[in-house]
Amino acid sequence: MQFLQQLVNGITIGAFYALVALGYTMVYGVLKLINFAHGDLFMWGAYLGLTGLTVALAALGYTTPWAILPVVIFVMTSVALMGVLVERIAYRPLRSAGRLAPVISALGVAFILESLARNVYGASWKTYPQGLTPSGGLVLAGGVRVSLMQIIVLVASFLLMAGLYLFVHRTRVGTAMRAVSLDHDVSRLMGVDVDRIIMIVFLIGPGLGGVAGLIVALYYGSFDFTLGWIFGLKAFIAAILGGIGNIPGAMLGGMLLGIIETLGAGYMSPQWKDVIAYIILILILIFRPTGLLGERVAEKL
């Protein structure tokens, strides 16, 4: 029974990883860049969500879960704008500078964002307002508990992921995105505005990441400025595990990582939870660098 309970918890955490991993995977798809700043954009989603909720609740004068809705929109747009800004300032000038300069630049942006968060909001743990999240839940056969919050989180994540999948595979912009991820020059010859597509990717990826930050902070209730780095690295591992550059891969990788980590923490030792994630990363890069669902990166390695 403990196994099933861990599985449920693992899937919930996996959904978070998957949401953040999507941002890594989309950027890697079009720019072949490991966007280290993504984890910190995600964290800014949590901080801006805190500010937004505080303001919204103060304006309303009473606590209601509906206050979350405008905050979602606020967080999504502001983090998406931050993402576009980061691309403009730190990545676009390095588009033709090889593969390593942008990675270092991305790492630099990550440090700037983290330091900003720490200096603006303070280094202490931040707590979300109480009473916003529903507390009920279901008890399934065998005593496995699924909280209402977990169900909401899962449904929200799946809706976002399904929406993204349909967007990338059914719309013109999505098709252009896939074309750009194959070849910039040929896409340009086919009339695709590559810069615009990259901008859209930097709207969607961080936008989703920002919402993920809000959801994670709501789910756990508290966080601090190290959230971005730890969660970002985990999500990145999830993206690699599923096959980076591959959207269903990011979802699969996120779920798998969440489940493995939770089971590992439950059956071995919670202290070694993070080590398990890193070891998965090391093993996958040594033995199958393309990830579980990836094919294209193989020749690059």
Partner 1 sequence: MTALRERLQKVNPLWWQLGLLVLAILFPLPLGDYHRSVLWRTGLYIILGLSLNIIVGYAGLFQLGHAAFYALGAYTTALLNIHFGVPILLTLPVAILVGAVFGYLITRPILHLRGDYLCIVTIAFGEVVRLALVNNIFGITGGANGLSGIERPVLFGLVLRQPIYHYYLVLFFLVFTIFAVRRLENSRLGRAWMYIREDEVAAEAMGIDTVRVKLLAFIIGSGWAALAGSLYAAKITVVSPDQAKFLESVIMFCIVVLGGTGSIPGVFVGTLGMVTLPELSRALKDWRDAWLGLAMVTMMIARPEGLWPSRRIRMEIRAAKEEASVAPAAGN
Amino acid (one-letter) located at 111:
F
Q: How far is the CB of 185 from partner 1 (least distance, A)?
A: 6
Query: Which one, 32 or 154, has the nearer CB to partner 1?
Result: 32
Confirm or reject binding of residue 191 to partner 1 (CB under 8 A): no
Distances from the Cα of 128 to the Cαs of 52, 132, 202, 214, in angstroms?
11, 9, 27, 10
Figure out which of the listed residues 4, 5, 70, 118 binds partner 1, where binding follows CB under 8 A: 118
Helices (H), 61-183: 68-86, 100-121, 148-170, 172-182
Figure out which of the listed residues 4, 55, 57, 101 binds partner 1, where binding follows CB under 8 A: 101
DSSP letter at 90 equals I
> φ, ψ for residue 22 (rounded to 5)?
-55, -40
Phi/psi region, residue 192 (left: phi>0; alpha: psi -120 to 50; beta: rest), is beta
Structure tokens given for 35: 């966007």
Residues 13-42 that bind partner 1 (CB under 8 A): 32-34
Query: Which one, 155 or 230, has the nearer CB to partner 1?
Result: 230
Instruction: Give all strands (DSSP E) within the chain, no chain letters.
Output: 126-127, 137-139, 145-147, 222-223
Figure out which of the listed residues 63, 64, 115, 222 binds partner 1, where binding follows CB under 8 A: 115
Q: How far is the CB of 177 from partner 1 (least distance, A)?
A: 13
Confirm or reject binding of residue 103 to partner 1 (CB under 8 A): yes
CA distance 157 to 284: 25
Confirm or reject binding of residue 126 to partner 1 (CB under 8 A): no
Footprint on this chain of partner 1 (rule: CB under 8 A): 32-34, 89-90, 93-105, 107-116, 118-119, 180, 182-185, 187, 194, 229, 233, 236-237, 240, 271-272, 274-275, 278-279, 281-282, 285-286, 289, 301
